[in-house]
A and B are shown apart, each in its own frame.
Chain A
Amino acid sequence: MPDPIIVLENLRKAYGATIAANDLNLSIPRGEIFGFLGANGAGKTTTIRMLCGLTRPTSGHGFIDGLDVWTDRYRIRSKFGYVAQKFSLYPDLTVTENLAFFGGAFRVPRGELGARIETLLAQMDLVGKRDAMAGSLSGGMKQLLALACALVHDPPLLFLDEPTSGLDPVHRQQLWNLLYNLGHAGTTIFVTTHYMDEAERCTEVGFVREGRLLVKETPRRLKASFKSKLLELEVDPVMPALAAFRSAPGVLDATLRSGHARIYAADPESLLREWQREWPFPELKWIHHAWVEPDMEDVFKAWSQGYTQLFDSTAS
């Protein structure tokens, strides 16, 4: 891999007995949009905070542009922008005052700062809100402003910790379009998310569970790693069916998708044969069955729950 911008080598963070990041090894090439996925508490935020030099790694190393994320943390701060999970700008300062403050803090030359702020305001659609207090903005606008503040020094790398959580679909779309444009222009983006449609847009995603990185792949290959299609059943009534399927032998889990029950099973074909031979749920009415392609949500489910039986062991 030529010249990765981020490299993790056995990066670990322990809080007492709890290991938030467990010997992570990872390498992210320049210009990639890397999606860091995992359930709440899997260690995503801790990893980002270590990369940003906000918390000291217990052991191991992280490098950005070849510089250690802890010992060289003062030298690498001009190289990245960071948007935290929680809104963390100054609510009692206006939009432009926030941008000007971060511009000054990131040592953007005085002469260039004005023009830079105008560009960002236009890009984020915040021109009309320039003199509004940051605290008075809507959730979506706050997030756009946070992104603008993280970009004020035009960094080659951007860390975003769940940037779209709590946003409406319109702002979510707007934010991702901006990220796409940035990625297209060569900015490396490291983003954590819970939304699987967003994971689909990443060039590569990594799954983390209990502090361990389980897999790092392109979304396409991840979906292809299932050993078979997934079984979907149309039954009536569907809600009691989910509970019944979950406790049935041979079934790992069942979820509701567009009114149908999607079943995760180690051997779905023999399960279907068995159920067709003798339907074990007399109170449920069998209507229809179908084989569907797994999507990112299934990938997330399988990786975050540890259903490794679903994957094709010969592929990887």
Chain B
Amino acid sequence: MSKMNIRSIWNAVASVALKEFLHVWRDKRILALIIILPPFFTLLFGHAFEGTELTGVPAVIVDRDGTEQSKKLVEHLGKKKTFAWTKLGDASGDPDLLRLRASAALVIPKDWTSTLEAGTPVPLKLFLDGTDATSADELEGRLREMLGEFQGQDDVQELTVKPLFEELPPEVFDALKAVTPESRAKLKVEFQKLVKPWQPETRILYNPGLRFIDFVTPGIIGLILQLLTVTLMACTIAREREAGTLAQLIVTPLRRMEIVIGKVLPYLGISLFLIGVTIGVAHFHFGVHFRQPFMLGIICLLFLLCSLGSGLLISAFCHTQTQAIQFAVFYLLPVFPLSGAFAPIERLPAGVRLVSDVFPLTHFCEAFRMASLRNADFSFFAGDLLFLAVGAIVTCGGAAWILNRTDA
């Protein structure tokens, strides 16, 4: 391609880009939205997901046993902040959570202590509001943890282990005297294995603070950018088609690709600026650290191209702006829950994950977390980058192709 030709293409692309930039620049409402939304959403989502620990959950405790032991349990549970317990006098039947305005209820059954001592304990009864399944799971886990702690206390252990020994027949003790020290040691190990819970020593890698904000930051950045790029871009060609300017644009000698690139460029510039703002907020306000800045730049660029391309594809395909916005909404809707922006994608069933793999945001989050959170090397996210690059080419090329085929 000659120098003159490249210059002529650049001039043509620049004309379209300038025009497209002026459309955004002149629309003060949209401009305000673009500038305010990303930092605002980052703050909002950031704080929303900063600490997910449940505290002060309204709960009810019913002590039908009323012994020293059950009182100790109630006292122990009261020390933890997870639940805000309300003691309830003995009411028969299952507690009505809705009427009690509580999310959980724990019932200590009658004769709990005595059955415990007898070695055949009646189980505690826990009632949970399952409307929000995740919270219910977490509350159950918390309560099990507390009960475990309670059980581990010396006086309680004595209470449960003592009867066990008392009931052993005397022959056992005689037999034990006869065992050699070696087998006694062995027996001790076996016994400990039975009694002690299997407890691993945990060391957390990659996100040692276990801060959810570090995990969710790429999700926030990606989500905001996805939202803005797809909706803004979806309107560009559809708006021109609706206003009749597309015909005017098509009778010019502009090539389809020059129109597509010219339209994408200003939005790409704006989006990159917005990513900078969002990263700034995440870093300075939430203290999120970003590693491999160069790689993150590449990931963001490819993601934006792919995202702008999908918007453009919707735009080329739709006849009016209204249609384009509706399509954009329906495209964006499944992206939120399925892309792994806020919740680990591993929680989704395998079949649904195939759908997740179609969304650029999924690959953006994966690659971003690999590079920034895990400081992984390029080979770990090369596949995601390849997907985004192919996506950018396919969507932009597709938009140009549709533009070429349909009547303006």
Interface residues of A (CB under 8 A from B): 49, 52-56, 74, 77-78, 80, 82, 84, 86-93, 97, 100-107, 110, 149
Interface assignment of B16: CB less than 8 Å from any CB of chain A? yes
B8 proximal to A (CB < 8 A): yes
Q: In the complex, which of the residues A82, A89, A90, A93 contacts B251, with contact meaning CB atoms closer than 8 Å?
A: A82
Asked if B250 lies at the interface with its beta carbon under 8 angstroms from chain A, I say yes
Nearest 8 pairs of A and B residues by beta carbon: A104-B15, A88-B244, A105-B252, A77-B253, A92-B26, A86-B244, A55-B407, A82-B251
Closest chain B CB from A71 CB (angstroms): 13
Assess whether B23 is interfacial by the CB under 8 Å rule.
yes
Q: Give the nearest-CB partner of A91 in chain B.
A: B243
The yes or no answer to B249 lying at the interface (CB within 8 A) is yes
A159 nearest in chain B by CB position: B251
Q: Are A104 and B244 in contact (CB under 8 A)?
A: no
Question: CA of A215 to CA of B175 in the docked complex: distance in angstroms?
Answer: 124
Instruction: Give the complex CA separation of A242 and B253 in angstroms.
Output: 53
Contact A104 B22 (CB under 8 A): no
Q: Mark B1-34, 1 if CB is under 8 A from A, else 0.
A: 0000000100110111011001100110000000
CB of B251 within 8 A of CB of A101, answer: no
Beyond A55-B407, A107-B8, A149-B248, list 20 extra A-B contacts (CB 8 Å).
A49-B247, A52-B251, A54-B251, A54-B408, A56-B407, A80-B251, A82-B251, A86-B244, A90-B19, A90-B245, A93-B22, A101-B15, A101-B16, A101-B18, A102-B252, A104-B12, A105-B12, A105-B254, A106-B253, A107-B12
- Give CA–CA (A87, B248) in the complex, Å: 10
Given A88-B243, A88-B244, A104-B15: A97 touches B22 (CB 8 Å cut-off): yes
Q: How far is the CA of A302 from the CA of B400 in the complex (A)?
A: 46
Q: Of B14, B248, B251, which contacts A53 at CB under 8 A? A: B251
CB-nearest residue of chain B relative to A93? B22
Cα distance A53–B256 in the bound complex, in angstroms: 14
Q: Which residue of A lies closest to B23 (CB)?
A: A92
Q: Cβ of B15: which chain A residues have Cβ within 8 Å of it?
A: 100-101, 103-105
Q: A89 — which chain B residues lie within 8 A by C-beta?
A: 245, 248
B19 and A107 contacting across the interface, CB-CB below 8 Å? no
Contacts of A82 in B (CB 8 A): 247-248, 251
The interface residues of chain A lying within 8 Å CB-to-CB of B251 are 52-54, 77, 80, 82
A residues less than 8 Å from B253 (CB atoms): 74, 77-78, 105-107
A-B contacts, 13 listed (Cβ < 8 Å): A52-B247, A74-B253, A77-B252, A78-B253, A84-B248, A88-B244, A88-B247, A88-B248, A91-B243, A92-B22, A102-B248, A106-B252, A107-B253
Contact with A along B244-286 (1 / 0, CB 8 A): 1101111111110000000000000000000000000000000
Q: Chain A residues with Cβ under 8 A from B26's Cβ?
A: 92-93
Within the assembled complex, what's the spacing in Å between the Cα atoms of A77 and B19?
20
A83 to chain B, nearest CB (A): 9
B320 CB → nearest A CB, Å:
15
Q: Min CB distance, A158 to chain B, in Å?
A: 12
Q: Do A105 and B16 have beta carbons less than 8 Å apart?
A: yes
CA distance A78 to B253 in the complex (A): 6
In the assembled complex, the Cα of A92 lies from the Cα of B22 at a distance in Å of 8
The smallest C-beta distance from A166 to any residue of chain B, in angstroms, reads 15
**Residues of chain B contacted by A56 (CB below 8 angstroms):** 407
Identity of the chain A residue whose Cβ is nearest the Cβ of B254 in the assembled complex? A105
A101 and B244 within 8 A (CB): no
Q: Shortest beta-carbon distance, B276 to chain A, in Å?
A: 27
Q: How far is the CB of A307 from chain B (nearest CB, A)?
A: 35
Chain B residues lying within 8 Å of A100, measured Cβ to Cβ, are 15
Inter-chain contacts of A87 with B (CB < 8 A): 244
Q: Is the CB of A92 within 8 A of B252?
A: no
Partner of B11, one of A84, A92, A93, A104: A104
Determine whether the beta carbon of A92 is less than 8 Å from that of B27.
yes
